[in-house]
Amino acid sequence: MFHSSQSMWFRKAQKWQLEVDVVVIGSGAAGAVAALAAHAGKAKVAVLEKSDRFGGTTAVSGGVVWVPCNKHMADVGIADSFDDALAYVTRLADGRSEPALIRRYLETAPQMIDFVEGATPIAFKALGRYPDYHPEFAGGRPGGRSLDPGLFDTNTLGPWKDKLRRSPVFGMTAMSVSEATDWGVFSKPSALPFGLLAKRFKQGLVCYGGALSGGLLKALLDRGIEPTLGTSAEELLVDDDRVVGVRARQGDKDILIGAKRGVVLASGGFEWNADLCRRFLGGPLTHPNSPPGNDGDGLRMAMSLGADLGNMSEAWWCPSLMVPGEEYDKRPLHRGDFATRSLPHSVIVNKQGHRFVNEAHNYNDLMKAFFAFDPVAYERTNLPAWIVIDQQYLDRYALLTYVPGMPIPEWLIKADSLDELATAIGVDARGLAATVLRFNRFAVEGADPDFRRGESLYDHFYGDPEHKPNPNLGTIEKGPFYAIAVHPGAIGTKGGARTDGDARVLRPDGAPIPGLYAAGNVMAGVTGAGYPGAGATIGAAMTFGYLAGRHAAQRSG
């Protein structure tokens, strides 16, 4: 029987407007690598992208790719072992992923990197000083597993130059992740080589996720695969239980695209779908950091065909800050906060004025402390929450659009005393005063026995290496004092269709749905609850994209 997943309006006699071997839905890292791998397997490929730009969240990201045992680690003198990586990821997954899938990921990721470097202009560089997110855990590493895609010249894309998605945050500062680290992007923002960055911007160079997506796009174009932008996949079409195509929406018309060998869902997470977030996530996700196209379309399509789901309560959590009025793709821009809370002279407090977490901890695990629940009061104790800083912070460090030397932005809540600041933000003044008094003692002593801020190598990476005695701890004592709200955000969700080691979408009985694959944030994330290191989301997305594309090209599943 030939039918669509939702309706019977589609008849077999109807012609495809386009017929290929493999249809890929989404142009982020997962989709682009799936398309390249399918092409390498001699498949004719179509890439559908809902928005009018190529690259998805991947293109606005840091572009870092986490791959244990990658060959570039030798260049920075760090050794790795499969068993160490396996033990480490398994611990962080916290029982929410499947052992065989974790193995498959770790076995395949280094091969995937070789494949991507062979197929694209990207030459990755190991980031020797970017630690894993729990570097002190057994199997963790002080650096080297995170790979930097470097810079990319958008002029090589020809007419596609302006169709590559640009980050609203890093889009104009072309510095590689290695350079950003060497130049002290967080701790010495005023010392960045602004002249060089302006020159590079004029030249059309991009960095981070722009460089990664740019390199992937170039490889697709070189193979004659022109992504179809402005085309939203709406429905999977099925014949005799096999997925054979997609109904997509282009402007005000439907088009039917046949997929002789398979369809790869690579449509990202569901973080912009408030309804799905409310129904599934383990905490409120009100301020997603990705572009707003990630609405859970792929998840919905997989569910329509009876896919099993996994890891649905998890996200790649990230505390978010906002500059009022800033927008991206006509929606509010929520900026992930990676450093403000890690630098000296800052704390995060709840409405009682209390600290509740190591503020410098990795963004994914940190966010979970915001969801702590008081069963008696029946409320989340740590929401809302505020970052409190003093003038010493603003004299040295950047904050969102502010760089030292600029006028103090109006969106920062400012007060001459901590008492007045507490009143302005609705926080208990006595609680805040006691917290700051205690924290200031820790800052002078260089150790935080309450929450262990500034203890891990990870914390130090986002701190100020020149600040003594601890790169993450500085007193809050010089007025004026300032506050900004911290919101629950995520750089993407990571729950979705359960897959096997070839990225085939599974039914609840464990059998694959023939012809259907999932990779990236639309699949049940292989790292479960955890975030092993910088680039672990894209590393997994590219790995399962590679597996999906390779397998689909064979038409064996």
Ligand X SMILES: Cc1cc2nc3c(=O)[nH]c(=O)nc-3n(C[C@H](O)[C@H](O)[C@H](O)COP(=O)(O)OP(=O)(O)OC[C@H]3O[C@@H](n4cnc5c(N)ncnc54)[C@H](O)[C@@H]3O)c2cc1C
Give the footprint of ligand X on this chain (CB under 6 A).
25-31, 48-51, 56-58, 60-64, 232-233, 266-268, 289-290, 293-294, 297, 316, 336, 491-492, 520-521, 534-538, 541
Residue 336 CB, shortest distance to ligand X, in Å, is 5
Q: Which is nearer to ligand X, 29 or 343 (CB)?
A: 29
Cα distance between residue 520 and residue 539, in whole Å: 9
Q: Which is nearer to ligand X, 292 or 479 (CB)?
A: 292
| 469: preceding bond cis by omega (within 30 degrees) | yes
Whether the CB-CB separation of 447 and 358 falls below 8 Å is answered with no
Q: Pairing mode, if any, of strands 413-415 and 309-310?
A: unpaired
Q: Which is nearer to ligand X, 311 or 470 (CB)?
A: 311
Cα distance between residue 342 and residue 330, in whole Å: 30
Q: What are phi and psi of 16, to 5 degrees?
A: -70, 140
**Residue 70 CA to its chain's centroid (Å):** 20
Q: Which is nearer to ligand X, 209 or 471 (CB)?
A: 209
Q: Which is nearer to ligand X, 272 or 482 (CB)?
A: 272
Cα distance between residue 365 and residue 92, in whole Å: 10
Cα distance between residue 16 and residue 8, in whole Å: 16
DSSP result, 485-515? EEEEEEEEE--EE-B-TT-EEE-TTS-EEEE
Residue 276 CB, shortest distance to ligand X, in Å, is 13
Q: Which is nearer to ligand X, 49 or 459 (CB)?
A: 49
* Length, in residues, of the chain: 557
Residue 193 CB, shortest distance to ligand X, in Å, is 22
Q: Which tokens sit at 325? A: 């009025």
Q: Which is nearer to ligand X, 233 or 497 (CB)?
A: 233
Residue 27 CB, shortest distance to ligand X, in Å, is 5
Q: Which is nearer to ligand X, 45 or 233 (CB)?
A: 233
Residue 26 CB, shortest distance to ligand X, in Å, is 3
Residue 293 CB, shortest distance to ligand X, in Å, is 3
Q: Pairing mode, if any, of strands 481-493 and 315-321?
A: antiparallel
Q: What are phi and psi of 523, to 5 degrees?
A: -100, 165
Q: Which is nearer to ligand X, 12 or 253 (CB)?
A: 253
Cα distance between residue 163 and residue 245, in whole Å: 26
Residue 238 CB, shortest distance to ligand X, in Å, is 17
Residue 160 CB, shortest distance to ligand X, in Å, is 15
Residue 55 CB, shortest distance to ligand X, in Å, is 6
Q: Which is nearer to ligand X, 102 or 347 (CB)?
A: 102
Residue 112 CB, shortest distance to ligand X, in Å, is 13
Task: Taking the CA atoms of 69, 319, 443 and 462 in sequence, report the sign of the dihedral they define.
Answer: positive
Q: Given the structure tokens 């402007």, which residue do they identify?
A: 251
Give residues with Cβ within 8 angstroms of 307, minimum separation 6.
497, 498, 505, 506, 507, 513, 516, 518
DSSP result, 436-481? HHHHHHHHHHT--TTT-TT-SHHHHHTS-TTSSS-TT-----SSSE
Give residues with Cβ within 8 angstroms of 194, minimum separation 6.
none
What angle do helix axes 82-93 and 99-119 make, rounded to 10 degrees?
A: 120
